[in-house]
Every structure is written in structure tokens, then in C-alpha cells.
Chains A and B, each alone.
Chain A
Amino acid sequence: MTILITVCLHPIFRACNLQVQFTEDGIHLPDIGLWLDNTQPCEATWLSHAHSDHARGCHTQVIGTSATLRMYRMRLSVSENQEAPKMFPLNFGESMPWNGAMLTAYPASHILGAAQLLIEFAGTRLVYTGDIKLRPPLAGDTTEVIACDRLIIESTFGLPIYKLLTREAAAQRIIRFAQECLDEGQTPAFTGYPLGRGQEIVHVLANAGFRTAVHGAIAKFIPVYEDYGYRFPGWEPYEAKATAGKALVVVPDHGRVLESSGKNIRRAYVSGWAALDNARLRGVAEDLIPYSDHADFDELLELVERSGASHVDVVHGYTAPFAHILRSRGISASAPQHASDRTNIEAEG
């Protein structure tokens, strides 16, 4: 299989002796023969978390936390003449040598299993956050900030207009909306992505004692969460015919189906994008609950500052503006050209 890679050679920073190339497919570390979240099949990649936008290619060697690898396996379809990827589990706090570097995984709290990777090579420390959240999530591990020389960070919510709710406040809002609807004889429906947000909302509702009906795409990953110690008391599979008296947790597309079904349903949109009023139209929801599994603006700044990194690469979301903001605070920062900019308006958040 030929892999076509457009390499954009980025200036190599003195602070880091490890060469980093940002390409359309992912981040390449040629010195140690490793990719970070390569979206295309490749020789060896680190998988920061199991969202389908990158946890999909059939690579030869894959490194990730056990939870991430397990969900990656659930998504993977290996054809007969293909060899299944060789998987190297690397759990939180564990280290492994890799072509002259030392790799260590730390929690990133984004979704179950999401991890940051610390790469120590020739006396310098590089951290790749992947998708990250700094404050504790509704369900998942809490992030550690790792001191490093160079930090590669995302910026999904890298503008000062994005300030999101803490998990306590988000849980309160979720419960309040569900209770209000049920008290008035209506059915509350929450929309969440199949992996991460979906389970977090179910976790809040089920533990608050609501009868919670869960869409299949979200339910599929609940056993994985359960194996890692999260409890979802009494959740049940979603059935279109029996929704009364229950709180529904469905995927966004199905939310639209529900709305048009003419049933007595009210929708809440739980997302970082719900921080802006125009999300009401984008998500076609009544209530907006601005909570995300990504860090908000203040968290991103805090992460960068606490890492002590002497250079920051911003690779996803508002890359150029966030790098500009960091520079205006005296932090060396850049937005590599091939980093995925926020051009996709339906970006997950």
C-alpha cells in the first residue's frame, strides 16, 4: 500500500531535539518512526482516543490505552487479506521504549481511555495532548498537566467567548431539564455523540434515578464504561414506541427524527457549541447546556501555562487565533499549516 503524505516541514525548534512534521493525515515524528493520530493506514501510530475520525485506519502497529484499543477494535473491520494491527497497550502512568524514545501515557479526560502522550527523546520532553479537557468530566478520568518543553495542543474552543459549565453545573442543568419536562408530561431528549458525551449524559441521568432510554449507537459502548467501573443503574435500550415517562439519550441525527415525529418531545443540546445562542438553531434544541469533553478557553490557557512549555503547536480548532493569543501573552506558539483548522462547521464538540 502506498501512502501519499504531503509533508510540510516545520521549523525545528531548538527547545526540542525531536523533529515534528505536521501533515494532512496526522503528526509525524520521523526520528522515532511514529505517527500521532494518523487518519490513514500507516506503519505505527499513537491513538490518543477512540473517536471515529481517527480511530479507524488499519495500521500495522497501534499504541494506545487498553480502553482506547478495545473501542478501536470494535470499530475496526479487517478484510481477509489484511493483517490485523499489532496493538501495544500503554495505560496511564505506564512507559515504554520506542526507537530510542521513552513514551508515557497520561489521562486526558476527553472520553473514556483518552490519553496524552509524553515523548522523551534526546533530553527533551514533548507532550501531545490529543483531544483534552482539564476540568473533571461527568464520567471519565481527570487530566494531569505534564511539564514539558514543547506542547502540541488542540484548540476546539480556543476563543474567549467559550466558557463552559463545570461538571457539577452541567449535571444540575441536565437533571433540571429532565425533571421540568417530565413534570409537565413531556419527554426530555438529550443529544450526545455515540462515544463520550452520550455515556456522560446517561451516567448523570441514570444515577439521578431517571428511567433512561439509550439509543443503540450510544448503548454499544456502555459495557466498556462499566468494565472501567462506571455504573448506569437501570438504563434501558431506546424504543421509538415507548418513550413516555423516560429521559431519552440519542445521537444528534436521531434527535431530528424525534422532533419531526410529532411526539411530545423537548430537546436539550449538551455541547460546547451550546455556549453560543446560534446553537439553538444549529442543534434545533430548546435548552442549551454548554458542557463539553473538550477544554474551554480558560482551561486551554491554564493547561499551556502550567505545562511550562517553551513552544506550543496548536493543531485543531481555532489554531491561528489561539496561537496568536498565546504569542500576545509572551508564549512562543504557532499554528502549523496542515493542522486541521476549524473549517468543518459540524465539528464535534
Chain B
Amino acid sequence: MDALAQVCEDIARVGSKLKKIERLAAYLRPLHDDDLLLAVQFLSAGPAAQSGINQTLFATEEKTSLSVGRTVIREALQAATGWDREILRLCFSETGDSGETAGLLMRGISAEAPMTLRQAEQLYGQLGLAHTSARKRELLTQIYRRYQPLTIKYFIKIITRGLRIGLMERMVEEAVALACHVPAASVREANNRLGDLPKVALAARHGELASIETRLFHPMDFMLAKPLERLEDLARPADWFIEDKYDGIRSQVHFDRGQVRIFSRGMEEITQAFPEIAAAWKKIPGKGIVDGELLAWRDNRALNFNVLQQRIARKRVRATLIQEVPVIFMGYDALLHNDALLLGMGLQARRQALESILENAPPLLQVSQQRGAATLEDVDRLFLESRGRGNEGLLLKRKDSLYEPGKRTGAWQKLKRPFGTLDVVITAAEQGHGRRAIYFSDYTFAVRTPNGFANVGKAYSGLTNGEIKELTKILRSASTEKFGRVILVKPEAVLEVAFDGVQKSPRHKSGFALRFPRILRWRKDKRADQADDLARVEALYNSSVV
């Protein structure tokens, strides 16, 4: 682990991609098989998740797979260093990185004992199995005190899943290939099939890449779509299959003659929450893996995501709830059918397999409708029709696209024009993380009410670095109060935000929250009294409730 930390630090220091790959390969090459597995695992996927522990369907940024959040990391550091909460808060906010802060503050304090990769794995295991945060804190305090500061830095970065050394998974694949003397393409291809880079690395070393097979009941990464910012950017509309973009739970079904498991995008099994869907799949002959989406469904159309939400988070489902919130599975793609792996085949061929799998299927299992378009006008019309059916927009999939697990290549695109835009006023700002740690880059914003302002959401993306820098200065001078990383500011700066919907929210005083808000532009030309008001938000909400 000490050597892994050192190589990460070296990789951060060199700019050239090729050199980063070479350094990583040089580190991986002499490792024993067990260590190779662990090193690649830590670099590509983080510590192995302890199954079933505190995992939620939608992992939040704060929680990691070990359920070791920033608070535990900070409190343990408080115990290990003696620095008080306020000083630590400031240190964290200056670096913007938990691991880095821990490493910096433990210099000269820790016992500097060596840590092997095997020990690191055991420590992660202990942290994952510790059931209370008090126990986790205690363990982490011991770890801080015992090991080398640089190792601590990366030990924590691996937990928080952000190495921030300019190393993408693609580059880890290339380093594995270089270390094992095989072509990079064969490693990538095998990783696509298996979605488990550590195992791929081992196979690459032993010349067994060709025999890597997709295994049923082990979830594979989902292929993702790139947002299409402007419809006009779409070249040759005729090259694409077009489907409605639904707002449900993307899922992967593995089935084998009566055995069924359904996985969410977080790789978590959600079979129990949807017993009627599982029952329907049990009737499907043969075996396979199908990519699709769970949707709350009534009268031939998908219901709002808010409705489906009632079905998540439940281990056992009452029959009445199944009636109240009827759910279907909308099939998108087939990845495996009987013994044929379909990832490397074109979409048309996969689509045929999907249709044959779901031929004569119970009505709860459907196949998403695929349309074609000759011109951009056609696409635009399809978009409006999809919105008319209450869906988010369109998914465009190139007819020849392969299924690339975990990738967002642009072979699939999503068109999601915003539901609406509002001019809002910034009321609070928070320092960002990583490269934005030195700026106020996350903004809480509000609309006007008869007696002031009421918050309706928070957004952090959309402004240029230059704008963030400029806005940081202005917000600093407009700040009225400071709580750690957050400042409250006089409501002055106006932003135009786009969003995908309005929902009720008990968290905000306004009673509403915007869904997926993002900043379109900073309206320097507008004053706070020219921002939109709560009545407009309410009207938007009422218009969207089906």
C-alpha cells in the first residue's frame, strides 16, 4: 500500500498521460497475483463493498460503500491530531480533499508503520463491518496514528473514491495491458465483457483474456448516454434509433429458467422491491441479461418519478402498494441471450434478441418502442410527442452502436430540453471540492415571496471558472454569516437556472424544490427584485402534476 501511495503521488506529478501509464505499469508488473488484484481494485473501483451494509439505492456523495463519510473521517482526525473542529474544518476547506488533509496533518505524528495491500484490504473490511460510526471513528483514528502519512492520504482517497491524480479507468486498463504485455484493446474489451478490471488484470497476466466470460447474476456496468446539448449538433438523423427517455429506475435483469435477479445502476440488487416483475421474468424461457427501466405505469404511460419513489427503499412490498403503484419493466437492450454474448454486436442485432426474449412475455414486461427519423424536424416532432406523453425527452442510439458497459461514448445521446427556466437569487454559497475548493462554487438560490425570498434549490454546474472566480469575490463581500464552508449572502446576484421539474419539498421554506437545477447564465443585468417569484414556481408545479 505504501508503494501504491507513492506511485499515485508520482503519477499526480507528471503531466503526460503516457508517462502516467508507464509509471503505473512499472508498479503493477512485479506484484504478486493477490497484490495485483488488490492494487487494480483500489485504483479502479475503490474498496470492495461489504454486501448488504447500509447501502441505499441512491448512494449520496457523502456516503461511500463502506459508509465512512466525511464526518467520520474528520472526527477521527480530530481524535488523532488534537486539532479542534474549527481548525480542521478550515484545513479541509482549504485542501478540498479529506485524504490529503489527513495525510498533511499526520506528518510528524503518525508511527509510520508500513502497510501492505493485504492489510489495507483487511482494514477496509473492518471499517465496512463496523456498525456504528463511533466504532468506525475509533478504527480510523488507530489507522491514522499507525501508518505513513502518504499512505493515509491515499487510503482515504480510495474510500472517498476520488484519487484526483489525473488517472482515468481507461488509463488503468492501458497500464494493466502494458504491465502484462498484451494489447490495450484486448484488456478493454475483456473489461467491457466482465466489468471487473482486477479479474481482467489477472487473466491478462496469465494469458486467459480470451476465456473471460460474462457471468450471470453478477451485474455489469450500464452503458450511458451523453447529453445532446443542441439538436442541431446531431449529424445524419437517419443513423439513429430513437426512443422515449423515461424517468424511472434503470435496471439490469439476469434470468436463468426461473431464477431472477434485478440490479440497479448502483449494482445493488432490488429484486425484492419488485416481486411482480421478478415473477413475470420467471416465466421467460432460456437465460440472459436484459437492460431496461422500471417505470410506474398506468393507462399506457409512465407516471411521475415521485410515484415510483414510494416503491423503492422497501424490502418487503405489500400487495396493496403493488396495486397503488403499478410497475412495469421496459426493455431496452439484450446483453446476453442463452450462450451468446451480444455486447460486441450492433444494436439492431441486439434488438432482435431482445424482441425474441420478450416474445409472448407477460404484459408487465415490455419492449421500448424504437422510431426512426429522416430529418432534424422529425426528431423535434418526436421530442414533443415524448414530452406530450409526460416523458423527459429522447434517447438516440446509433444503429450500429455496440454495448459498452460503463461508458458514455456518444454512441448514445439523450435530448432533455429543460422543463423550464427561472431567474433566481443566490442566498447562500458553499466552497467547492477539489479544483474548486478555493472558490464558492455551489449556490443555494431563492425566488421572491411577498415578504422576502424563499429557497427553491441548489446548483453548482454551469458557470465558467472565470465566472465562479468573479462571483466568489462578489459573494464574499456580500456575506452576512459564515458556517464552516458555507456563507449566507445578501440576496443580490441573479442566476438563470434550468431544471427538469418542480416537486414538493418540506426541506425548503418555499415548499418546493427544482429537480436537477443547473445554471444557464449569470444575469449580471438583473437585480434581485427582478427575479421570478413563488407564484410562478407554484404555477409550474400545478401544470406538471398529472
Q: Could you tell me the distance between the alpha carbons of A19 and B104 in the complex, rounded to whole angstroms? A: 39
A24 within 8 A of B: no
Interface of B, secondary structure class, is: helix
A275-B96 Cα distance, complex, nearest whole Å: 13
The reply to whether A163 and B15 contact each other, CB–CB distance below 8 Å, is no
In the complex, A277→B9 CA distance in Å? Answer: 10
Within 8 A of B (CB), among A236-291: 266, 275-278, 280-282, 286-288
Do A321 and B86 form a contact, CB below 8 Å, given A159-B94, A277-B164?
A: yes
CB nearest to B84 among chain A residues: A328
Closest to A276 in B: B95
Chain B interface residue bracket vs A: 20 to 34
A102 contacts B by Cβ under 8 Å: no
Asked whether A278 and B13 contact (CB < 8 A) given A161-B104, A163-B107, A324-B86, the answer is: no
Chain A residues with CB under 8 A of B81: 160
Known contacts: A278-B434, A278-B438. The answer to whether A159 contacts B13 by CB under 8 A is no
- Inter-chain CA distance A277–B11, complex, in Å, is 12
**Least CB separation from A281: chain B residue:** B435
CA distance A275 to B13 in the complex (A): 13
Within 1-54 of B, Cβ neighbours of A (below 8 Å) are at 12-15
Q: How many residues in A have their beta carbons less than 8 Å from beta carbons of B?
A: 22
8 Å CB contacts to B: which residues of A312-337?
318, 321, 324-325, 328
- Closest residue to A343 on the B side, CB-wise? B476
Q: Which residue of A lies closest to B88 (CB)?
A: A160
B90: interface (CB < 8 Å):
yes
Task: Give Cα distance in the complex from A318 to B435, angstroms.
Answer: 21
Are A161 and B86 closer than 8 Å at their CB atoms?
Answer: no
Q: Is the CB of B91 within 8 A of A160?
A: yes
A321 touches B87 (CB 8 A): yes
Asked if B90 and A266 sit within 8 Å, CB to CB, the answer is no
User: Are the CB atoms of B437 and A278 closer together than 8 Å?
Assistant: yes
Bound Cα distance A286, B100 (Å):
18
B305 contacts chain A at the CB level, 8 A cutoff: no
Kindly state whether residue B83 has any CB partner on chain A within 8 Å: yes
User: Is there contact, CB below 8 Å, between A324 and B12?
Assistant: no
In the assembly, what is the distance between CA of A287 and CA of B19, in Å?
A: 14
Whether the pair A287, B96 counts as a contact (CB closer than 8 A) is: no
Given contacts A163-B108, A345-B439, 17 further A-B contacts (CB under 8 A): A159-B90, A159-B94, A160-B81, A160-B104, A161-B95, A161-B104, A163-B104, A266-B15, A276-B104, A278-B437, A278-B438, A286-B15, A287-B13, A318-B90, A324-B87, A325-B87, A343-B476
User: Mind listing 22 A-B residue pairs with CB under 8 Å?
Assistant: A159-B90, A159-B91, A160-B81, A160-B87, A160-B104, A161-B101, A161-B104, A275-B104, A276-B95, A276-B104, A277-B12, A277-B100, A277-B164, A278-B95, A281-B435, A282-B438, A286-B13, A287-B13, A318-B90, A321-B86, A324-B86, A324-B87
